[in-house]
Amino acid sequence: MNRFFSLTLALLLLLSCTACVGRAAAPGEEPAPADMSAEQPLDPPDETEILEEPAEEEPVEAPEEPYVRVIDPARPMVALTFDDGPDGTWSDAILDVLEEHHALATFFEVGRNVLACPEPVRRMAELGCEVGSHSNAHKDLSKLKKRALLGDLDTADDAFVSAGVEAPTLVRPPYGAVNKTVKSATGRSMVTWTVDTEDWRSRDAQAVIDFVQSAGDLDGEIVLMHSIYESTADATAVLVPWLQEQGYQLVTVTELLAYYYGELPQPDCFYGYTYFSTHGRTDTPVPLPGEAFPGAGVPEEDFPEEPAGQEAPAESDSSGEEDAPVETETPGEDPPEPEWTPTRVQRSTAAPAQAAPTTP
């Protein structure tokens, strides 16, 4: 019995010692494994989770209130215009910039280009940009007989309609070339520009940027560029935010005519050198069609027909100050206005406006 008892005791001792060894080892190593496990995958996942959470919150905050564009007729404004497109690459690059900055511009597109590349034109209209015609084949319209002239413009209109936008009533004649028929017998409104960046000549983004940034007061100006060059798209990416920082509202040509010059573009009227050099900021901006008042952007059914006062000067090619020079032209050949001159319209000191040199 004693032997059995002592054997059993020895066994129990041995077992407890083994357990002790096991336990003794564990407490000794515990801190290490604990630290290691702390350094191990526990923390990184936490950080990942923390990083992921705000990323999920941001999109929730992003769809804030929709941007409401309101133009203040009393504040400086400038109309950027892009000719010769649409271009499969650079039109969209320019539209990206405009969309990002809630800015609008006017695109004078060539009908045959619209037929070949209609998507950008639809996007322009969707964004609220103005789509004007730049003829169908970019010919010198002043050299066409009237029937050919109207045929060209009508063919262009068909291209716009087939692209899903309205046939433009605003036309920029290629090269700025006009004669009496182009100016006043197409049923359209013809408009040129007041500031020429000569982007087609330089094909240099920095040159275009430098030109615009050193052009002085741009309030009321129509800036000519072309949407078919990478350099122009690059320049636009800099100039749009820069102009806004200077205080300019970026408006369409029709908005500029209504809000700055105080009249809606009229059919068979020419808005060219003579017009822009003798007109300035109006005291009586007019609403766009369907607007309650200038800049409101809110349609109202029955707003008083203020533009009626404008219609009188509009209908007469012979009444306005601008028309005297027009009549000087012989009905036949009219020397085309070169596309690059004048680089900037010089406003007459007798202009009926305060082309206010106020800080933009």
Question: By CB under 5 A, is residue 263 in contact with Ni ion?
Answer: no
Applying CB under 5 A, which part among 4-12, 174-182, 248-256, 314-322 lies near Ni ion? 174-182
Q: Which is nearer to Ni ion, 84 or 263 (CB)?
A: 84
Lookup: tokens for 63 = 């769809």
Please name the amino acid found at residue 21: V
SS3 state of residue 22: helix
Q: How far is the CB of 313 from Ni ion (least distance, A)?
A: 29
User: Which helix (H) or strand (E) is 214 found in, with range?
Assistant: none
Q: How far is the CB of 91 from Ni ion (least distance, A)?
A: 14
Applying CB under 5 A, which part among 37-45, 170-178, 192-200, 258-266 lies near Ni ion? 170-178
Q: Phi/psi zone of residue 262: left (φ > 0), alpha (ψ -120 to 50 degrees), beta?
A: left
Catalytic position from the list 134, 226, 279, 334: 226
Q: How many residues bind Ni ion (CB under 5 A)?
A: 3
51 CB-near residues (< 8 Å, 6+ apart): none
Alpha carbon distance 207, 231 (integer Å): 9
Neighbours of 48 (CB within 10 A): 10
Alpha carbon distance 221, 76 (integer Å): 10
Considering only residues 323 through 352, tell me which ones interact with Ni ion, judged by CB under 5 A.
Answer: none
Catalytic position from the list 83, 84, 152, 234: 83
Question: By CB under 5 A, is residue 173 in contact with Ni ion?
Answer: no
Question: By CB under 5 A, is residue 83 in contact with Ni ion?
Answer: yes
Q: Which is nearer to Ni ion, 138 or 281 (CB)?
A: 138
Q: Which is nearer to Ni ion, 83 or 130 (CB)?
A: 83
User: Which helix (H) or strand (E) is 323 found in, with range?
Assistant: helix 323-328
Applying CB under 5 A, which part among 51-59, 168-176, 198-206, 237-245 lies near Ni ion? 168-176
Applying CB under 5 A, which part among 146-154, 172-180, 189-197, 251-259 lies near Ni ion? 172-180
Q: How far is the CB of 178 from Ni ion (least distance, A)?
A: 13
Applying CB under 5 A, which part among 87-95, 167-175, 177-185, 296-304 lies near Ni ion? 167-175
User: Which helix (H) or strand (E) is 80 found in, with range?
Assistant: strand 77-83
Q: Shortest Cβ contact with Ni ion: which residue?
A: 83
Q: Which is nearer to Ni ion, 195 or 314 (CB)?
A: 195
Place of tokens 């989770």: 49
Question: By CB under 5 A, is residue 174 in contact with Ni ion?
Answer: yes
Alpha carbon distance 301, 292 (integer Å): 8
Place of tokens 């010059």: 261
Active site residue 134: no
Alpha carbon distance 345, 342 (integer Å): 6
Point out which residues pair with 222 in neighbouring strands: 79
Q: Which is nearer to Ni ion, 86 or 285 (CB)?
A: 86
Nearest CA among 181, 109, 174 for reference residue 140? 174
Active site residue 83: yes
Considering only residues 84 through 143, tell me which ones interact with Ni ion, judged by CB under 5 A.
Answer: 84
Nearest CA among 116, 159, 166, 163 for reference residue 135? 159
Q: Which is nearer to Ni ion, 225 or 256 (CB)?
A: 225
User: Which residues are identified as catalytic?
Assistant: 83, 226
Query: Which residues are near Ni ion by CB under 5 A?
Result: 83-84, 174
